[in-house]
Amino acid sequence: MKLALYQGPAIGGDIELGFARIEMNLAAAAQAGASMAVFPELYLPGYNQPDLHQGLAQPLGGAWTKRLSDLASQYACGLTIGWAERLDETIYNSATCFDDTGKQCAHYRKIQLFGPMERAGFTAGDAYSVFEIFGQRAALLICYDVEFPQHCDALAREGVSLILVPTANPKGFEHVSRVLVPARAAEMRLTIVYANYCGQEDGLAYGGNSLIVGPDAMPLATAGVTETLLIADLSHIEQITAEILSQQNRDYRKVGISHDA
């Protein structure tokens, strides 16, 4: 199976520009043989756009998700993307996954809101979304969520082997891509797709460095700091021997604490 990841600039509220980029990159991913393409966090309408989150947020099943579903079906390529969701007066930082027929496979609301802007504008989610796709048990997380080993551990214990992560990681936090995401993949024997922005958006500079990483912590595809479409072939993961994968969950010994005088 091949997976694709789009790293690009934020659209700054230009929804039609966003859909044009989604279509162009989804078509390219499909042409390259990818089964799924992953886009960044809050791609619709943009991440650093708190006023637009309130003004443009759409309901699940509304115009945005209908168009996204149609694109996945048209190009016979799955699509995972972050967007601002409205449920009555509540706004969520959400991500939705569609399969290659356009069927909605999963919908997820970010659990770990990061920073004053997110905490002021969004309500936190309270549940994981675990689903089957292309023969794998998969889940969605969003940005800050994946930095918590507790969340990755909980998903691994549910049999998840693939986590799709739309993100909006700023410049200066490149250690998340270089250290934390590979560590989460290795610790929990996961494949993680981490799709970030590049460029700037209303004064916020993004760090790029998107990646697709396997359960041996080895990157399958990595981006720099410019716009790109990554494609990674996951077929070799089945050939990784168990001996080199993490055994910590099996071998962990819980002990007490000695309070010496």
174-209 tens-digit pLDDT = 999 999 999 999 999 999 999 999 999 999 999 999
Task: Identify whether 152 is a catalytic site residue.
Answer: no
Provide the edge-to-edge strand list for the sheet that holds 90-98: 104-109, 90-98, 78-87, 36-38, 2-7, 228-233
227 tagged catalytic: no
- pTM above the 0.75 mark? yes
Distance CA 60, CA 79 (A): 15
Catalytic residue among 77, 97, 105, 143: 143
The predicted structure's pLDDT at residue 260 = 77
The pLDDT value recorded for residue 259 is 83
- Write the DSSP symbol of residue 89: T
Residue 241, pLDDT above cutoff 60: no
User: 2, 41, 77, 198: which one is catalytic?
Assistant: 41
Sequence spans of domains, the chain: 2-251
Q: Which residue of the set 85, 110, 152, 201 is catalytic?
A: 110
Residue showing tokens 């604490």: 257
* CATH pick for 2-251 out of 3.40.50.2000, 2.60.40.10, 3.60.110.10, 3.20.20.210: 3.60.110.10
Output the pLDDT for position 238.
67
* Residue 110 annotated among the catalytic residues of the structure: yes
